[in-house]
Amino acid sequence: MKFAKEHFPMGTYPGQSSPGLYIDETKAKNFDVIARAMKKDLFPIGIYSGDNTSGTGKTTCMTQDACYFTWKINQVYGLNNKFTSRNIFFQIDKMLKEAPILAKEQPYSVLCLDEPDELNENQLRKKAFELKSAFRKLRQLNLIFLITSHSFFELPKFYALNRAQYLVNVQFYGEFDRGFFKFYGPKAKKLLYFKGKKEWSYDAYPSDFKGRFGPAYSFFPNCKEETIKYKRRKEQDMLDELSGANKPQVVDEKQITKQLFCDIHKRLPKLPIKELAEGFAVSTRTGFNWLSEEKAKNQSEDSSAGASRTDYTNNLIDKEENVAVSAEKEVYQDG
């Protein structure tokens, strides 16, 4: 079925045969139930997995479903919400900052997390409490929350079973053809997780139904413009990840304690090192070692700085002398 013909006129997508965006009708009926229940303080979560691989089209499918949710909510509650590139996030921290703003501007908004590293099992062991707290905060905002992940089985039970209402697994067919999905409701999703997690197999339990989806990212209004913005943000996020800009800075408590110890000794040189060490709950020997290391480091830095200045000056002089000699030779040769 087609929806939102006013937002997706002819020419929005290559090869578009009629106005509107396509969505599988059975899937739309399931989403209608969720949209109507938002007034009951529901906090629905949908998971979009990629059949344990990349490039299947899970983000494409998610944006199309997010458009349908937004369009349907506008119909049900008489709102004028939008779904743009602003609604998609790559890090949970950034989403938490923007979520309250979006919730206030557009009630029942759809927020999407596009393959966040924080939601895999290894990362969640480190920050599980923080993320569970974040989900509790988000629940109070009455938002629809969609997540993409390479694999459904990569997610911990708290999110895969307790929090999510449905799973859409997007997969290739034939010769890597895109546009195919399987839909799992609460019961099917649960049984798939328990039966399929051992071998990461989506054949371990049958889906509730199968369907197709279109080939392009979807936003409204201004689908083409927002698609460009999304791709730019996605590219920037990848560059930030490669450069380490997205990685949180690791705090070395021992190094901070050591630096503080040395700074206090520098300000209060008459304070006995033994008393200072007792104040920091370390041995006197450790205190002496810290001060020795700090002194050696400072001497090394001073030495390096002096050598650099000398080398630079000498190199510059050498270059000037070489230029002068060369010029002199040229004069003599010309003469």
The strand pairing partners of 180, in sequence order, are 171, 212
pTM: 0.71
Comparing CA positions, the residue from 131, 76, 120, 79 lying closest to residue 102 is 79
The label of the residue with tokens 């229940």 reads: 37
Give the mean model confidence (pLDDT) for residues 13-20: 91
Span 198-248, pLDDT tens digits: 899 999 999 999 999 999 999 999 999 999 999 998 888 888 777 765 554
CA 125/CA 44 separation, integer angstroms: 24
**239, 286: one domain:** no
The strand pairing partners of 183, in sequence order, are 168, 209
Binning the chain into helix, strand and coil, the percentages to the nearest 5 are 55, 15, 30
Q: Would residue 269 count as lying in a domain?
A: yes
How much is the pLDDT for 83? Answer: 97
**11, 141: one domain:** yes
10 Å Cβ neighbour count for 239?
Answer: 11
How much is the pLDDT for 138? Answer: 73
Question: Domain range for residue 328?
Answer: 253-334
Q: Is 137's pLDDT higher than 90?
A: no
What would the two tokens of residue 73 be?
Answer: 């909510």
With a pLDDT cut of 90, the percent of the chain lying above it is 50
Comparing CA positions, the residue from 138, 182, 129, 136 lying closest to residue 156 is 129
**148, 36: one domain:** yes
Look at residues 215, 243, 271 and tell me which one is the last residue of a structural domain. 243
Report the length, in residues, of the chain. 335
Span 185-200, pLDDT tens digits: 999 999 999 999 989 9
**40, 73: one domain:** yes
- Sheet-wide strand order for 144-149: 88-89, 110-114, 144-149, 45-49, 166-173, 177-184, 209-212
**195, 233: one domain:** yes
Give the mean model confidence (pLDDT) for residues 279-289: 88
**123, 201: one domain:** yes
